[in-house]
């Protein structure tokens, strides 16, 4: 058997069947199995009511018992177990006001897309398909089950999920489903921003072979982009100097970065998406070229605001701000003093920054000389050479007779510069340098 999660799901389904209940695998795990992919999660759909599921299994969490959903823990593996149901009505674009427990046929009809509406009998490996999911998988189509507008009204997030599935699987969206998305696009912000943020991040971080670019092209074509990311939508038509950016405007350039993403970290993905987010507000057309002075610094603040709106963590938005603010610093690296270069290379997140710089260059004029210079220096220099332990601290300056004050930081920074330049090798040299510089120990 496959993963521990799959083994747990099999054990749970077997126990439910032993007690006389129907139990199928449902949704994404069935889709992934048919696509030849290893499912990440296994969900079980059953005829057993939630209360009975809680009685059968010793360790459960009622994550949505009123909707028939219980999390069952088996061998430390959480598996969602849901009672076959039909949703009666929705009022908040996410939750039904009530449910009616029903049959597998009716349960399939309430799900989002045909490719996610199939069941698998784990005892026989038989696919149970009431919605035409197998045919749409073979045809490469994302199609809403039943009335697309009704499915979207039930849960607005389904619009973003359609985009993500189409991009990641390389499928097309059924015309009727796509038309319903376009018609309802403005309502996407009716749902919680955390849910929107999670879908956007999944589009970016689960990307392979251009799927992130495809996702954002679909967001654009569907009319969703100006509602979820107006700052990215504003990149359309912002021209750039062709000598640096022969690829075209800032939106086209940003798509070029996204096309290269291959399961990046969340911060690198958002950094790639937002690295030029301030160019529309800083663009100045000169006689010979277009400039964007200050776009890195202004963009860092804008990126934080976007990350906050998408409900990302503080750690994420701090790193994204650093990536956006410093994404061009490497260009000056070959001319930096050795101490300045080492301080730059010692930055927390430098490898992610250089990864962003490489994406940026490959999506424009493909000049990698500065990136490769920094990468080579990182390979040549040890961690201690880049960020050596301090030769002196504030207490050492006090012992030498200096009075604490703002000058301490300047003195200690100068000593670090000497270390990094190689002019101060050890503690004794640093002490002697301070004595000579500040006339200490003289008669």
pLDDT in the model for residue 374: 98
Q: Residue 233 falls within a domain, yes or no? A: no
Q: Does residue 326 contact residue 350 with C-beta atoms inside 8 Å?
A: no
Would you say residue 203 has pLDDT above 80? yes
Domain boundary among 139, 160, 186: 139
pLDDT in the model for residue 8: 96
Are residue 32 and residue 149 in the same domain, yes or no?
no
Q: Residue 240 falls within a domain, yes or no? A: no
Would you say residue 312 has pLDDT above 50? yes
- Residue 286's pLDDT band (cuts 50, 70, 90): confident
375 membership: H or E segment, kind and range: helix 369-380
Name which of 190, 249, 261 is nearest 220 in CA terms. Answer: 249
Range in 23-37, 61-75, 204-218, 382-396 the model is least confident about: 61-75
Residue 404 has a CB neighbour count (10 Å cut-off) of 10
Are residue 205 and residue 281 in the same domain, yes or no?
no
Would you say residue 91 has pLDDT above 80? no
Are residue 49 and residue 130 in the same domain, yes or no?
yes
Would you say residue 98 has pLDDT above 50? no
Are residue 215 and residue 297 in the same domain, yes or no?
no
User: Per the structure block, which two tokens stand in for 78?
Assistant: 């959480």
- Residue 443's pLDDT band (cuts 50, 70, 90): very low
Q: Residue 250 falls within a domain, yes or no? A: no
Q: Residue 255 falls within a domain, yes or no? A: no
Give the rounded percent of residues in the chain with a pLDDT score beyond 70. 95
pLDDT in the model for residue 275: 98
Instruction: Check which CATH number belongs to the domain holding 151 and give it.
Output: 1.10.110.30
Would you say residue 301 has pLDDT above 90? yes
What's this model's pTM, rounded to 2 decimal places?
0.90
How confident is the prediction for the chain on average, in pLDDT? 93
pLDDT in the model for residue 324: 98
Are residue 305 and residue 376 in the same domain, yes or no?
yes
Are residue 331 and residue 215 in the same domain, yes or no?
no
**pLDDT tens-digit profile of 210-224?**
999 999 999 999 999
- Residue 87's pLDDT band (cuts 50, 70, 90): low
Distances (CA, A) of 337 to 343, 354, 417, 425, 433: 10, 19, 10, 17, 20
Give the rounded percent of residues in the chain with a pLDDT score beyond 90. 86
Domain boundary among 171, 204, 228: 228
Q: Residue 343 falls within a domain, yes or no? A: yes
Q: Residue 123 falls within a domain, yes or no? A: yes
Exposure on the CB side of residue 227, measured as CA atoms within 13 A: 22
Are residue 86 and residue 171 in the same domain, yes or no?
no
Are residue 49 and residue 86 in the same domain, yes or no?
yes
In the predicted model, what is the mean pLDDT of residues 6-13?
96
Q: What is the Cα–Cα distance from 302 to 234, expressed in whole angstroms?
A: 13
pLDDT in the model for residue 161: 98
Residue 98 has a CB neighbour count (10 Å cut-off) of 11
Instruction: Check which CATH number belongs to the domain holding 22 and give it.
Output: 3.30.460.10
pLDDT in the model for residue 441: 61
The number of folded domains in the chain is: 4
pLDDT in the model for residue 63: 85
Would you say residue 281 has pLDDT above 90? yes
Q: Residue 7 falls within a domain, yes or no? A: yes
Are residue 117 and residue 9 in the same domain, yes or no?
yes
pLDDT in the model for residue 132: 97
- List all residues 6 or more positions away from 273 whose beta carbon is below 8 Å from its beta carbon: 204, 216, 229, 232, 254, 257, 258
In the predicted model, what is the mean pLDDT of residues 203-215?
94
Are residue 305 and residue 352 in the same domain, yes or no?
yes
pLDDT in the model for residue 2: 77
Distances (CA, A) of 9 to 19, 63, 118: 16, 17, 16
Domain boundary among 367, 387, 407: 387
More confident residue, 125 or 208: 125
Are residue 204 and residue 75 in the same domain, yes or no?
no
- Residue 92's pLDDT band (cuts 50, 70, 90): low
Q: Residue 248 falls within a domain, yes or no? A: no
Which structural domain, as residue segments, surrounds residue 370?
260-387
In the predicted model, what is the mean pLDDT of residues 402-426?
92
Would you say residue 179 has pLDDT above 70? yes
Question: Do strands 43-46 and 77-83 pair parallel, antiparallel, or not at all (unpaired)?
Answer: parallel
pLDDT in the model for residue 243: 86
Are residue 213 and residue 301 in the same domain, yes or no?
no
In the predicted model, what is the mean pLDDT of residues 189-207?
97
Give long-range contacts, CB 8 A cutoff, 24+ apart: 28-37.
28/116, 29/120, 30/118, 30/119, 30/120, 30/127, 30/133, 31/115, 31/116, 31/118, 31/133, 31/137, 33/120, 34/118, 34/127, 34/134, 34/137, 35/137, 35/169
């Amino acid at each position: 058997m496959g993963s521990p999660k799959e083994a747990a799901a099999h054990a749970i389904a077997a126990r439910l069947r032993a007690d006389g209940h129907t139990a199928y695998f449902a949704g994404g795990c069935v889709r992934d199995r048919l696509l030849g992919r290893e499912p990440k999660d296994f969900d079980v759909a059953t005829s057993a009511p939630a209360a009975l599921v809680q009685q059968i299994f010793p360790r459960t969490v009622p994550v949505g018992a009123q909707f028939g959903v219980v999390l069952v823990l088996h061998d430390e593996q959480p598996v969602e177990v849901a009672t076959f149901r039909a949703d009666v009505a929705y009022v908040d674009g996410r939750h039904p006001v009530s449910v009616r427990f029903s049959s597998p046929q009716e349960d399939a009809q309430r799900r989002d897309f045909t490719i996610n509406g199939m069941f698998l009998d784990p005892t026989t490996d038989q696919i149970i398909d009431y919605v035409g999911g197998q045919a749409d998988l073979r045809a490469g189509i994302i199609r809403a089950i039943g009335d697309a507008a009704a499915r979207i009204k039930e849960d607005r997030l389904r619009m973003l999920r359609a985009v993500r599935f189409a991009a990641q699987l390389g499928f097309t969206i059924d015309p009727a489903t796509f038309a319903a998305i376009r018609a309802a696009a403005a309502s996407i912000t009716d749902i919680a921003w955390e849910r929107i943020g999670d879908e956007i991040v999944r589009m970016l971080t689960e990307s392979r072979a251009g799927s992130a670019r495809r996702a954002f092209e679909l967001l654009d074509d569907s009319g969703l982009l100006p509602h979820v990311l107006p700052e990215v939508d504003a990149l359309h038509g912002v021209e750039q100097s062709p000598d640096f950016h022969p690829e075209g405007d800032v939106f086209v350039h940003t798509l070029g970065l996204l096309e290269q993403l291959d399961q990046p970290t969340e911060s690198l993905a958002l950094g790639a998406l937002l690295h030029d987010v301030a160019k529309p507000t800083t663009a100045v057309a000169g006689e010979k070229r277009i400039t964007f002075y200050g776009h890195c610094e202004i963009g860092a603040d804008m990126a934080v605001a976007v990350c906050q709106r998408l409900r990302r963590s503080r750690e994420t938005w701090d790193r994204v701000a650093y990536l956006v603010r410093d994404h061009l610093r490497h260009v000056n690296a070959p001319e930096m003093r050795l101490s300045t270069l080492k301080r730059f290379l010692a930055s927390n997140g430098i490898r992610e920054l250089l990864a962003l710089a490489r994406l940026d260059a490959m999506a424009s004029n493909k000049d990698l000389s500065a990136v490769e210079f920094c990468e080579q220096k990182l390979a040549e220099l040890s961690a201690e050479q880049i960020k050596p332990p301090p030769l002196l601290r504030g207490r050492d300056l006090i012992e030498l007779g200096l009075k604490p004050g703002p000058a301490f930081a300047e003195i200690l920074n100068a000593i670090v510069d000497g270390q990094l330049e190689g002019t101060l090798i050890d503690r004794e040299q640093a002490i002697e340098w301070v004595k000579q510089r500040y006339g200490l120990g003289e008669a």
